Structures are given as C-alpha cells and as structure tokens.
Amino acid sequence: MIITLIYVIMRKIKIGDGVMENEKILYKNETIFNKENLQNFSKFVWLQYNKFKYWATIIFSTLFLILGIIGGIGQVIRFQRIPNTFTLIFILIFASIIIVMIKFARGNVKIEEKNKDTLFKFEFSNDYLLISTELASQKILYNDLSNIQNVCNTEKYIYIMINKRAGYIIDKKGFNNYDEQNFTDYLKDKFKDKYIDYLGDTKKRTYTIKDIFICVVVSLIFCGMLLGYIS
C-alpha cells in the first residue's frame, strides 16, 4: 500500500515536471507596433510574399489603363466628342489600382492612432506561441496551426502570416536571447511546412493554380476588349 502510494506520488511529480518543461519559455520577444515596422511589413507583403500577384495586378491594370486611354482617344478622333462616362470611369479605376499598389509596395501606409506604439509580447515554448498585449492574448498551439498561413523568416523580422495580407510582426531586435541558427531550427521544427525562409536571397513566392487561372481569364477579357476596340 505504502509502496503503491509512493509510486503514485512519484508519477505525479514526473508528470508535473513534464508539464513544467513544456510550459518553459524558450524565447521571449517584445515588439512595438510602430510606423516603421508596419511600412516594412507592407513592403514585404507586396514585394516578396505576394510578389506574383503584385506584378500581375500592376501589369494587367496598366494594360487596361492603356486600353481605356486608347478608347478615349478613339472617341475623340472618330466621333469628335469627349470620351463617355464609362470610359472615364474605366480609366480612373485602373489608374487608382496602380497608384494604390505602388503606394503599398513602397510602404506608404497609415497606422491607426489606437494601434500606434502598441507593445506585443511573444513567448515561445515547446508546445505553443503566446502573443499578448495589454488588452488581449492569443495562444497558437503547434499541434494545431490551422489559423496560421505561414511563418516567414527575413533578415530583420519574422512575420506570422494569418492570411495573405495580415499577420504579426516580430522584430528580431526585441529578443532577449537570440541565436539566428538555433531559432531558425526551432521555427522549422515547430511550424514545419508552413515555415518559409527569406534569409539571404529574396525567395520567390510560389503561385497557385488559382493565380494562373485568374491571369488567363483576365488575359482573355483584355484580348476581347482589345479586339472590340480594333474592329
């Protein structure tokens, strides 16, 4: 009876030690959400992470803009009148798209006053990543990464991407004990195929079948409209 009781107590201690070991914080980081970090994130999202979609949008918008201008000039020359409202709206839409995309790629984004200088704390353990601010917290379990799209490791930042355009910014300067190789191995181990390495040379983002399909459809629409103008 006594031996059994001692065994049970020792088992509980072992289990408790195991839990404590898993709860142990391996890396800590504090990052201030400021304008500089947001600008760098915006540049990364459009020029690296969504590089294919960015340039596809720029190219097609430029082509449609030129098409609209040609159509407007044609109306002036052939019918001796100013371009109709549809043509002007058409030109305005694609000109606006180009301006906005270039603005985002250059990091010209505004930060909301309520989010300005917010301190984010990141605690990395064996089983989870805890993200917290003064107002809220979120725990990302490594055995369930369904809410994470990718973890992108760049030279100065780590981005926890929630979707294609939103994510958490981790400034590497905010780590208390940081070794590039050790932490890179940690990220690869915990996030597995969701981890993307952008260290050194800029990694080209792979495009999907959906991206290609959209480009083909838009190309066909452009060709159809061009033939309509020519004929």
Q: Which amino acid does the sequence have at 26?
A: L
pLDDT band for position 1 (cuts 50, 70, 90) = very low
Q: Residue 2: phi, psi to the nearest 5?
A: -65, -40
pLDDT at position 219 over 50:
yes
Number of Cβ within a 10 Å radius of residue 152: 23
Beta-strand relationship, 128-132 and 137-141: antiparallel
Mutual angle of helices 51-79 and 209-230, in 10-degree steps = 10
Dist. CA 195–CA 197, nearest whole Å: 7
**Domain assignments of the chain as residue spans, ordered by start:** 26-231
Residues 88-137: tens digit of each pLDDT: 888 898 899 888 888 888 777 766 655 678 899 999 999 999 999 988 89
Question: Among 10-19, 124-133, 207-216, which range has the highest average pLDDT?
Answer: 124-133
Beta bridge partners of 25: 125
Quick one: pLDDT at residue 115?
Answer: 66
Q: Is the Cβ–Cβ distance between 19 and 103 less than 8 Å? A: no
Answer yes or no: is pLDDT of 18 > 50. no
Residue 20 pairs with which residues in a beta bridge? none
Q: Note the pTM of the prediction, 2 decimals.
A: 0.74
Gap between the Cα atoms of 74 and 230, Å rounded: 10
Secondary structure of residue 195 in the 3-state scheme: strand
